[in-house]
Structure 1
Amino acid sequence: MKNLCLSLFALILFFHAEAQQIPSKAMQIKTAVLAAPETLREGSMVYGYDSQGNWTVLREGSNEMVCIADDPKAEGFSAACYHRDLEPFMERGRELRKEGKNFKEIFDTREAEAKAGNLQMPKDGATLYSLSAAAEDYDGMNGEVKNTYLRYVVYIPWATQESTGLALKPEAPGMPWIMDPGTHRAHIMINPPKE
């Protein structure tokens, strides 16, 4: 009986500790919007996690930006903000991941749906900002992140090297290049040199 009580107590402590690993709504919003340009942070919509770790809307937005809070289950810090025209593409990816699809299956499904006109893609291009940091530089409970790295992705569906003049790989630090050319997921990558 004593062992059973100790085991139950340890299990309760474990689940309590796990629940404490999810930052508050306010802290998730604070760190998620850091990926957005400063002038767009205040009105950004923010997705994140409730106290049980379930995906949820943390804040409705009033501008064109959608931000994603750091995943508390993943190592390190990663937040992203993107233009709302990318939301159908992003939401479809989340749905397919939830179904257990791998990267290739997700890519192929969205490619087919975009070609068929069933998946709306941005017409004029749309930007995604990705902010990351090492685990030791992130304190989610206090909403503090330091030594961050910000990179940029501009989605330009169906664009090619020929239509843009962009290289297929960076030839110098920070040089923009095109990834997945000719597909629904064609995008310009901009990875600034790390300090």
Structure 2
Amino acid sequence: MSKTFFYAAAICISLQANAQTTIPAAEIQIRTAVLAAPSEKQEGAKVYGYAPDGTFKMLRNGTNDLVCLADDPKKEDISVSCYHADLEPFMERGRILSKEGKNAKEIFDIRENEAKSKKLSMPKQPSTLYVLSGTKDNYNAADGTLKNSYLRYVIYIPYATAESTGLPLKPDVAGMPWIMDPGTHRAHIMINPAKP
């Protein structure tokens, strides 16, 4: 009897693990991913997401200057993002280094060195990243919609500083723009609107 119990428990655990990593259809991933983009850019954005076997791949080629990333099905809640195509070398390098097992500091240092040596191409002008997040219980997996979501903005300006932009190093009030990682390849303006 104990063998039967442990066998049943193993099946339940296996089914639960599989349910947690179910990959939505490409159409649903695309519909959710582009929610992070401005409305006029959603239809033409390039979208990366996940194949049924879990591999990361392009789901749709784009016709404009935006690249969107589908939600990672292995993570608890929903998070999708879109960014200007000029950020793609920077983002792709981060994904590669992360897949190699590098931690956040290692990824920062490697990309900083590669950007300084011109091995890693960085945008010549300010370039925006949009990040939309929400909870799983507000997500409709059948149609790819997300209720009560939160959208924040990141504007990359490589090597910008508080002095060159006039921005503070931290916000004084919710929604106030501020600069993070000033003076580095990853210098960016953070804009986190106040949550309702």
TM over 0.5, shorter chain: yes
Q: CA deviation at 1:16?
A: 9.4
State whether residues 157 and 187 of structure 2, in contact with CA within 8 Å, keep that contact through their aligned partners in structure 1: yes
Matches for 1:45-84 after TM superposition, within 5 Å: 45-84=46-85
Tell me which residue corresponds to 1:30: 31
Q: Which residue number corresponds to residue 163 of structure 1? A: 164
Paired position in structure 1 for 2:134? 133
Please give the residue correspondences for 1:41-190 in structure 2 after superposition, counting only pairs within 5 Å: 41-190=42-191
Distance 1:39 1:67 in 2: 14
> Separation in 2 of the partners of 1:24 and 1:143?
10
Task: Tell me by how many angstroms 1:17 deviates.
Answer: 4.3
- What TM-score results when the alignment is normalised by the length of structure 2? 0.91
Encode CA deviations 1:18-42: one digit per residue, 9 max, x unaligned.
4872111000000100000000000
CA distance in 1 between counterparts of 2:68 and 2:39 reads 13
Residue type at the aligned position of 1:114: A
SS at 1:85's partner residue? helix
Instruction: State the 1:173 CA deviation.
Output: 1.5
Q: How many residues align?
A: 192
Deviation at 1:168, TM superposition (A): 0.2
TM-superposed CA distance for 1:132, in Å, is 0.3
Is the partner of 1:72 in helix, strand or coil? coil
Deviation, structure 1 residue 15: 8.4
CA–CA separation in structure 2 for the residues paired with 1:19 and 1:129: 26
**Percent of aligned positions with the same letter in both sequences?**
59
User: How many angstroms apart in 2 are the aligned matches of 1:16 and 1:148?
Assistant: 26
Question: Which residue identity does 1:161 align to in structure 2?
Answer: A
2:20–2:73: 8 Å Cα contact kept in structure 1? no
Tell me how far apart the structure 2 counterparts of residues 194 and 151 of structure 1 sit (CA, whole Å): 10
Residue ranges of structure 1 left out of the alignment (5+ in a row): none
Deviation at residue 129 of structure 1 after TM alignment: 0.3
Q: TM-score, normalised on structure 1?
A: 0.92
Tell me the C-alpha RMSD between the 2 structures. 2.1
